[in-house]
Amino acid sequence: MNLSHDAMLVSLRITAWSGRLYDRQASTHVAVHHEASVTAGRYNKCLLPKAAFATLTATMSAARSTHYAQTLPWDDQGSRLLTVANYEDYTKLIDGLRERMVRERARFIEDYDDNIEKARLDLGKLFRIEDYPSKEALQGKFGLRYRIVPVPDADHFMAKLASDDTERVKRDIESQIEERLHDAVGDLYRRLGEAVERVSERLREDDEGKPLVFRDSMIGNIRDLVDIVPRLNIFGDDALAQLCQQVKDRIAGVEPDALRPSRDFDPVARARVKRDADALAEKFAGYFAPAAEAAPEPVREAA
């Protein structure tokens, strides 16, 4: 595997106006009224009704979820690993969300004056028109963009390092990169394992022998995962690929209505999926240790 050819680093930046503002006068008034220190609390005003931000907030949340789902963990600086195999899917999804955010920003600005009038009623004497940015300023207060850079390798760092101990530093860097890669692939085991465990858990019966609530998202999440895991399997990990295929064959293909009381309920299918989910959950558990133990290292082969 050549990491610089097979993957890249991507970071996502979302900017948004919170619509909240610290009111010093109100904070002081509350402190005086309660004979408290002025440092005892802060009064933050909601400048617009919460509903005004609903669609924008949903899109920002979807962008974050998509970014994490379509990439692998890498470092604690905000960068995540994006495989070349998943580049087109990632950019298509994020670009679509960015376009959606642009449309919703335009709608937000179009409704801005009306929402300010609603806030005037909500805030009463706390309302001050000077607290509100102009419509022109709002254009730059909502945005969604991503940045893609190559994955640096040890030689890249060595070119910038003047030291007599370059070989040791190089080995350390290579070791750190290898560790991050194994952690990244381990994240795929975790995602699949947790999704299978949730299916297994929801296919139990309650204390009265009645099936627990089983939502469409249980199977929907499984289907999303078995679609994306092969594109993120940067090591070409055979064990992961086989487990993913088993999850696809035994769970992803079943319809949710067959697993819960409904017109299409199939008790035989429910029992089978429950057995399969339990068996698969045990297999995934082999890649994760109990809380007090160290996790065994999965056997992986480089692509």
| Domain final residue pick, 150, 173, 191 | 150
Same domain membership, residue 86 and residue 181: no
Same domain membership, residue 258 and residue 175: yes
Same domain membership, residue 115 and residue 160: no
DSSP assigned state of 189: H
CA angle 101, 105, 111 (to 5 degrees): 145
In the chain, what percentage of residues exceed pLDDT 90?
A: 64
Residue type, 117: E
Domain count, the chain: 2
Q: Is the pLDDT of residue 288 over 60?
A: no
Same domain membership, residue 79 and residue 184: no
Same domain membership, residue 32 and residue 70: yes
Same domain membership, residue 184 and residue 51: no
What is the reported pTM? 0.81
Same domain membership, residue 146 and residue 21: yes
Distances (CA, A) of 48 to 60, 111, 116, 120, 121: 18, 11, 6, 9, 10
Torsion angle of C-alpha atoms 85, 89, 91, 97, degrees rounded to 10: -160
Would 242 be classed as within a structural domain? yes
Judged by average pLDDT, the poorest of 110-124, 145-159, 253-267 is 145-159
CA angle 254, 258, 263 (to 5 degrees): 145
Rounded average pLDDT over 25-33: 89
The tens digit of pLDDT for each residue in 110-132 reads 999 999 999 999 999 999 999 99
Would 297 be classed as within a structural domain? no
| Domain final residue pick, 120, 150, 180 | 150
Question: Would you list the DSSP string of 203-236?
Answer: TSB-TTSPBPP--HHHHHHHHHHHHHHHHH-TT-
pLDDT at 289: 44
Cα(first)–Cα(last) distance of the chain, in Å? 5
Same domain membership, residue 116 and residue 175: no
Residue 82 pLDDT grade (very low, low, confident, very high; cuts 50, 70, 90): very high
Highest mean pLDDT range out of 51-60, 160-169, 179-188?
51-60
Same domain membership, residue 209 and residue 114: no
Same domain membership, residue 130 and residue 34: yes
Same domain membership, residue 202 and residue 128: no
Note down the domain range covering 17: 3-150
Would 244 be classed as within a structural domain? yes
Rounded average pLDDT over 175-191: 82
pLDDT at 221: 95
CB atoms within 10 A of CB 235: 20
Residue 255 pLDDT grade (very low, low, confident, very high; cuts 50, 70, 90): very high
d(CA 95, CA 82): 15
Would 64 be classed as within a structural domain? yes
